[in-house]
Amino acid sequence: MNKNKQRSFIVDFGCCLPYGHNLQSVSLYKRKEEDRGRLSKSIVCKRVKSFDIDNKDDFYFSLPTLHKGLIIEGTENVFLRLYVKIIRTLLLFPFVGKNNLLDLKASKSIKKVFKIHNLKREDILIFPSADYYGTKALLKNLKNIKFEDRPRIHLRFIGSLESPHSFYKNNLFELIDLINKNYETLTVSAEVPIYANYLDSIIPDLKVIAEPYPVEVSKNTKNNRTIAKQESFVILLPGSNRADKGYFDIFNIAKEILFQFPSVKLVVQDMKKQNEFFNKKYRKKLSQLVNIELVEAVLPRKKIEELYKNANLILLPYYPDVYHFRGSGIHYEALQNGIPVLARKGSGFIEEINNWSSGWTYETKQDLLFRLKEIMEMDSEVIDQKMENSFKKFKKSSDEAYRFNMS
């Protein structure tokens, strides 16, 4: 790295898969920092090195994979999954004082990052998807560094990796406690407004604001959207599906849509086979429904772009209880591709949809059908205009949040 330039390090312990929003957000933050004239480097899990990803040279692959769920989701190898389950459970036992071995691993790798890159006060450490192990290890490690040598740290909470395991509860408070003790060099943000408000209320010394994804300037709403002029109306349900994303509701939703709007087609991205809720029978039932096109759970970026091009609407039937504090990467992608969304009320990103007018919300199935009718009756030019304005609002909001947190 050029010694005269200020440096930014984008660190993500949750980035252990060659796809998904963790990897994407790391890339986006890296680009955004470079646009600010800083030298930036992304530090992700070692595991990603073995996969074929774009701009591989931009990454440091040095972090261990600590989140069990992500490894299990990412591999079809049954033995590896079983191994991970057993080893992970064993490592969780508190052998050493208050820490378990996974905490020690995280701590070790954070120390390594500090040592190898010789982090100084002028540097910034960004956690675009702050996770439990990484954040905890980082904040604990700060104690060992002189105040004047501490780099600036920016933590962006996304509402999904703050707990190490489903049976641990209230881990967020452990992190908040550490944040409150080390707030001087910290900035904290959350992906969605409702979560930001909550964090703001429990971190009295910092102003926590909502920080959406950094916007990719290369993309804009028009170039993608107006190409698609197909005969039938296409509803897309992108992103590797999960139970909390409403996967098991899709069959009934699709049937209702078939009865009301027989010509409407739904393109559904499948659930990964290794997902603990994967149900072969349900999958077969879904694939046999006449208005559903089921596509692979993991798709290359090109194919995803193609799906976006052909879609008229993106449906997000996410469960509000799980997504209460969570955002949706798909929503940001929809905005960048100029496609409106129709999302279930109660999720964390609903406020964003309302603020940016990037789509509509629904509560019940009847409500969904009613909204769908309205959307289908709308002129495509009106929707294009609406999405163009939404994109502008999204960009403005994203830039403002970025400026606030990084200035």
Partner 1 sequence: MKHIVLICHKDHFISGSVNFIKKLFEKEFQVDVLTDHVSVNQIKSLVNVHDSSVFVLWQMEYLAPWLVSKGLKVVVFPMYDGCGTAPNSYFKVLDRTYLFNFSKRLHKKCIGVGVTSYQLNYYPEIKQSNKIFEKKEKLFYWLRRPDSSLAEPIITKLFAPYIENIHIHDRQDAYDIKNDVFQVEDDFISTSIWFDEKEKLETLIATSKYYLAPRESEGIGMAFLEAMSLGCIVFANKNSTHDQYIYHGYNGFLIDFESQDIALIKAQLKEAFDIIKSGKQIGENAKNFINKGVPIWNEQSKRILETLNTISDAKKLKRLSKKEQLAGFILVKLYRKHYRLYFIIIKIFYTCGLFSDKVLKFKFNIIYRIIFKLLKTLKR
Instruction: Give the position of tokens 């006060």.
Output: 121
**Nearest CA-CA partner of 191 in 329, 1, 358, 382:** 329
Pick the closer one to partner 1 by CB: 163 or 260.
Answer: 260
Is there binding between residue 167 and partner 1 (CB under 8 A)? no
Tell me the one-letter amino acid at 163.
Answer: S
- CA-based nearest residue to 361, from 353, 241, 325: 353
Q: Which one of the spans 143-151, 282-290, 330-338, 390-398 is the region binding partner 1 (CB under 8 A)?
A: 282-290
Spatial contact of 48 and 64, defined as CB atoms under 8 Å apart: no
Taking CB under 8 A as the criterion, the residue among 3, 290, 377, 381 binding partner 1 is: 290
Determine, following the binding rule CB under 8 A, whether residue 258 of this chain makes contact with partner 1: yes
Q: Is 230 in the site for partner 1 (CB under 8 A)?
A: no
Q: Taking the alpha carbons of 153, 325, 45, 216 in that order, is the dihedral positive or negative?
A: negative
- How near is the Cβ of 285 to partner 1 at its closest, in Å? 6
Chosen residue from 5, 108, 273, 284 binding partner 1 by CB under 8 A: 284
CA distance linking residue 375 with residue 369, whole number of Å: 10
Decide whether 317 or 340 has the Cβ nearer to partner 1: 317
Q: Is 260 in the site for partner 1 (CB under 8 A)?
A: yes
**The only residue of 219, 255, 309, 371 in contact with partner 1, by rule CB under 8 A:** 255
Are residues 351 and 272 in contact, defined by beta-carbon separation less than 8 angstroms? no
Site for partner 1 contains 285 (CB under 8 A): yes
d(CA 160, CA 96): 27
Q: Give me the torsion for CA of 303, 305, 308, 310, rounded to 10°.
A: -70
Of the candidates 281, 302, 381, 382, which one interacts with partner 1 according to CB under 8 A?
281
Strands of 359-362's sheet in order across? 292-295, 265-269, 234-237, 313-316, 341-344, 359-362
Stretch in the footprint of partner 1 (CB under 8 A) among 149-157, 209-217, 281-289, 326-334 = 281-289
- Check binding of 274 to partner 1 (CB under 8 A): no
Question: Does the footprint of partner 1 cover residue 309 (CB under 8 A)?
Answer: no
Residues lying near partner 1 in the complex (CB under 8 A) are found at 252, 255-256, 258-260, 262-263, 279-282, 284-285, 288, 290-291
